[in-house]
Amino acid sequence: MNTQVCESTSKIVEWLQTAGVAYGMRIVAALVILLVGAIAIRIAAKALEKLLEKTRLGEKSLVAKFLVSAAVKAGWAFLVVIVLDKLGVDVGPIIAGLGVTGFVLGFAFQESLGSLAAGLMIAINKPFKVGDFVSVAGLDGSITALDMMAVTLATPDNRKITIPNKSAWGQPIINFSALDKRRVDITIGIAYGADISLAKKTALEALAAVPGVLSDPAPMAEVKSLDDSAVTLTVRAWSRTADYWSVYFSGIQGVKEAFDRAGVAIPFPQLDVHVIK
């Protein structure tokens, strides 16, 4: 037993005298390269961020974040290969394996890659931003978060919905917050026997009294259609986007109360039945 211990100790000492010092130097050199490389990657990332700030991409755009993130990851991958090579690891098979793995993963994650590509298109075209109220993929809500893979909405009834960018970009996008003004449309029916001119005048006066209704463009009231039980009017006003819903609800109530005061009848659905004997 003592003989085996002595032989093992002799081999370790021999290895340390021959290859150990050289390998230790390799480890030290690899650690130095890793440290210097990490600092260089951080400096390069900051420089890229400042460079992108001077372009139209802006500091906080998704494209800028994506480019900086991709550059950092690529830098770390290159640094790891250099460190492994310095330690004596044959990196050729590793690089070849990464190429094959990337090809396989490309097929496996093609849906995710589609969302990533769509996220890049969203970042470039900027159809919406955080805080906007939008209709995306047939769903309505306020944008609460954006990244290169998905859009997160908060619905008016406070539900959180995450939509893959591929679905968001692949369908029409309606941004209700993009412009500073919105048109408020109110549809209301009056009796066939009612005075249409009086109804239009009353509706316009009622809208003028609603807080948030803009005078330019001026409100309007016109006959939309002649329906089975009523003459249907369209009453339109403009408001600032932030005031849309308050103007809409107050406008409906204001027109209804004004019609009651003016004696403009709003009919119930009616059906005339003719009995032939």
Q: Are 120 and 65 in contact (CB under 8 A)?
A: no
Burial of residue 122, with CB atoms counted within 10 A of its CB: 0-12 exposed, 13-18 middle, 19 or more buried? buried
Residue 83 has pLDDT above 90, yes or no: no
Do 128-175 and 181-262 have matching folds? Answer: no
Residue 250: the pLDDT is 94
- CA angle, corner 177, sides to 174 and 183, nearest 5? 85
Give yes or no for a contact between 75 and 110, defined as CB atoms under 8 angstroms apart: no
Q: Give, in order, the Cα–Cα distances in Å from 222 to each of 199, 212, 236.
A: 10, 21, 9
Query: Higher confidence at residue 117 or residue 270?
Result: 117
Mean per-residue pLDDT, 134-158: 88
User: For domain 2-108, is the CATH number 1.10.10?
Assistant: no
Query: What is the DSSP code (8-state) at residue 219?
Result: P
pLDDT at 98: 56
Give the DSSP letter string of 90-114. -HHHHHHHHHHHHHHHHHHTHHHHH
Torsion (CA) 255, 259, 261, 266 in degrees, nearest 10? -130
What pTM value is reported for the model? Answer: 0.56
Looking at residue 154, its pLDDT comes to 93
Q: What is the pLDDT of residues 11-26, one digit of tens each?
A: 555 555 555 566 667 7
Q: Which residues are CB-neighbours of 259 under 8 A, at least 6 positions away? A: 188, 190, 199, 202, 203, 265, 266
More confident position, 127 or 56? 127
* Two structure tokens written together for 162: 């995450």
Lowest mean pLDDT among 27-41, 193-207, 232-246: 27-41
Q: What is the dihedral of CA 74, 60, 48, 102, to 10 degrees?
A: 10
Find which of 62-76, 96-110, 206-220, 262-276 is predicted with most confidence, using mean pLDDT.
206-220
Number of Cβ within 10 Å of residue 155's Cβ equals: 12
Side chain identity, residue 257: E
**CATH tag, 128-175:** 2.30.30.60
Answer with the residue of higher pLDDT: 93 or 234: 234
How is domain 181-262 classified at the CATH fold level? Alpha-Beta Plaits (3.30.70)
Residue 37 has pLDDT above 90, yes or no: no
Q: What percent of the chain has pLDDT over 90?
A: 34
- Please check whether residue 270 is in contact with residue 210, taking contact to mean a CB–CB distance below 8 angstroms: no
Q: Is 97 a residue whose pLDDT tops 80?
A: no
| Lowest mean pLDDT across 69-83, 85-99, 201-215 | 85-99
Rounded Cα distance between 211 and 246, Å, is 8
Under the banding of pLDDT at 50, 70 and 90, the label for residue 60 is low
The secondary structure of residue 139, as a DSSP letter, is E
Nearest CA to 245 out of 151, 142, 129, 152 is that of: 142
Most confident of the following: 77-91, 97-111, 204-218: 204-218
Confidence of residue 63 (pLDDT cuts 50, 70, 90): low
Ordered by start, the domain boundaries in the chain are: 2-108, 128-175, 181-262
- Averaged pLDDT for residues 258-265: 93
Greater confidence (64 vs 162) lies with 162
Give Rg (Cα) of the chain. 35
